[in-house]
Structure 1
Amino acid sequence: MTAQLLILDRDGVINQDSDDYIKSPDEWVPIPGSLEAIARLSHAGFRIAVATNQSGLARGLFGLETLNAIHRRLRDRVESEGGRIEMIAFCPHGPNDGCNCRKPRPGLLLEIAARFDVDLSAVPFIGDSLGDIQAARAAGARPWLVRTGKGEHTLECLHEQGQDAALCDILIYPDLNAAASALIENPDLL
């Protein structure tokens, strides 16, 4: 059996999000259970990729060297739990730059699909925002939502706007740990 690809958003799914941006490795704080979840998924045969908007680069809040250090810390911490992240794709642009890689556009997910040579139709993309949902749909992936990060706010906004139907095909979990358990215990979800 071929290993199944799983794509994760970073901020709000793997680590705590911040309206002030994650600007250093010291500010990168994993959400409880997320690193263990990635390790369990790795052991269950999933290949893990991360797709993350990093407009802090365009805003001059940190440089590429710092972002690489943050991602090195992420990978090291996941590896210390026995897991592996095979790819981190990031968008360095700001919201008004008009790129195709900034979520909600599909560019990051399509880059990951090309690297792994997979059709995204059976690939879950676990995120916490409306932009993550939209990017998954635009790329042909399967949007999943966690309530951590911006997840609760995303659900509230869709409900207040009367767009509950937008969630009809989305699996929603309290956090990445719960989503990982569901994936591992219920292969039919794919």
Structure 2
Amino acid sequence: MNPVRTHPVKASPVKASPVRAVLFDRDGTLVEDVPYNGDPERVRPVEDAREALELLRAKGIGAGVVTNQSGVARGLLSTADVRRVNERVDRLLGPFDVWAVCPHGPDDGCHCRKPRPGMILWAAGRICTPPGDIVVIGDIGADMEAAQRIMPGRGLRQWQPSS
């Protein structure tokens, strides 16, 4: 049950830092989600992905990819498969300023797998951008939770139209 507010809450003004980079989840956000895809020929950009990336780049905003790829840990993909798929994404939508891939499974306890923020922090360091100047865009809760852990208010969930 949500608490009922009985008095107005006054928020203090907070100056937002400028967005210097956007980190995108890969599957379901930049490209159609094909579970455990190891075939570059099956890579299809989602509608408007190219246009959105072109707008960011035209404004001088960096773009990177942060992606969990547990198919590697599960033995369904090799790191070479993931690299080939990423290269195809880069050819279709890139170039990207940074790529960060977590090959671990959900129970491996690594620090990089979203919703832990390690991959986002690593990517931010690679592009020399403070985490507070980054926005994360993804399609699932793990993407947003990772963003919220290090930069409250800077994660965006991709809108999915209902069918």
1:78 corresponds to which residue?
93
Look up the SS of the partner of 2:27 in the other structure.
coil
Distance 2:124 2:40 in 1: 28
Q: 1:3 to 1:103 in 2, by over 3 A?
A: closer
TM-score, normalising length: structure 2: 0.81
Q: Percent identity among equivalent residues?
A: 34
Look up the SS of the partner of 1:37 in the other structure.
helix
1:130 corresponds to which residue?
141
**Greater percentage in helix:** 1
Distance 2:37 2:57 in 1: 25
Q: CA deviation at 1:17?
A: 1.2
Q: CA deviation at 1:3?
A: 8.1
2:122 corresponds to which residue?
111
Q: Please, what is the CA RMSD of the aligned residues?
A: 1.9
Look up the SS of the partner of 1:114 in the other structure.
helix
* Bigger radius of gyration among the two: 2
Distance 1:43 1:129 in 2: 27
Given that 1:124 and 1:144 are in contact with CA atoms closer than 8 Å, whether structure 2 keeps it comes out as yes
Distance 2:44 2:76 in 1: 18
TM-score, normalising length: structure 1: 0.70
Stretches of structure 1 lacking an aligned partner (at least 5 in a row): 153-190
Given that 1:3 and 1:47 are in contact with CA atoms closer than 8 Å, whether structure 2 keeps it comes out as no
Given that 2:137 and 2:158 are in contact with CA atoms closer than 8 Å, whether structure 1 keeps it comes out as yes
1:65 corresponds to which residue?
80
Matching residue's letter, 2:123: I
Q: CA deviation at 1:36?
A: 2.4
1:16 corresponds to which residue?
32
